[in-house]
Amino acid sequence: MKIVILGPPGSGKGTQAKFIAEEYKIPNICMGDIFRKLSKEDEYIKKIVNSGGLIPDKKTEEILINALEKDDVLHRGFILDGFPRTIAQAEFLDNYLKKYQTKLDVAFLIDVAQEVLVRRISSRRICRNCGAVYNLISNPPEIEGKCDICGGELYQRDDDKADVIRNRIKKYNETTKEVVDYYRNISILKVVDGKGSIQEVYSIVMDILETL
């Protein structure tokens, strides 16, 4: 199974990607996680990530190829979260897969209203020590500012602040609409309403995958 999952920041696509990867025993290639890891070593990438901007296509494509060419991913299948972000990236991915005589099976779009997204993301907190993730609305810690697991300090990522979130969503909408239309035009797009609970959205996604 070769899957792309699209959705604005805070749509829950990352969580759905993890569930799908576990169900189908395929690698979950999360470009956001890769970028955040690289930003610890690369000041150029760090600046873009912290401002809510997008990494240029060429650099992103290089990073993607490195991920796809590890551990026989192209033959095992994968779910791709955070790529493509532009029509050029979508075309690049299709052409790259064609070289290996394969193609995508489905592209999911997890669709959620903007203000719901801002509220979700700006409420997210992360433990500095163990990396556990909390949400002040849906999954708050027992003690404010402290991790339930290890007692570590909780913090808000720079790119989780409301003004940065709106900028991220604006950039997402400006660039990804063409990607959505691209996958719709080749008849592999499946739109999923993302306003429900994690399990409700996952059930819809799995129902779709079982028909492919």
Active centre residues (catalytic):
13, 85, 124, 157, 168
- Between strands 78-81 and 28-30, the pairing is parallel
> CA-CA distance, 84 to 41, in Å (whole number)?
23
CA 64 to centroid of chain Cα atoms: 14
- Kindly state the tokens that stand for 211: 């028909």
CB 34 within 8 A of CB 83: no
> CA-CA distance, 73 to 52, in Å (whole number)?
29
> CA-CA distance, 88 to 96, in Å (whole number)?
12
Angle among Cα 116, 210, 198 to the nearest 5 degrees reads: 25
Q: How many helices (H) and strands (E) does the chain have?
A: 9, 8
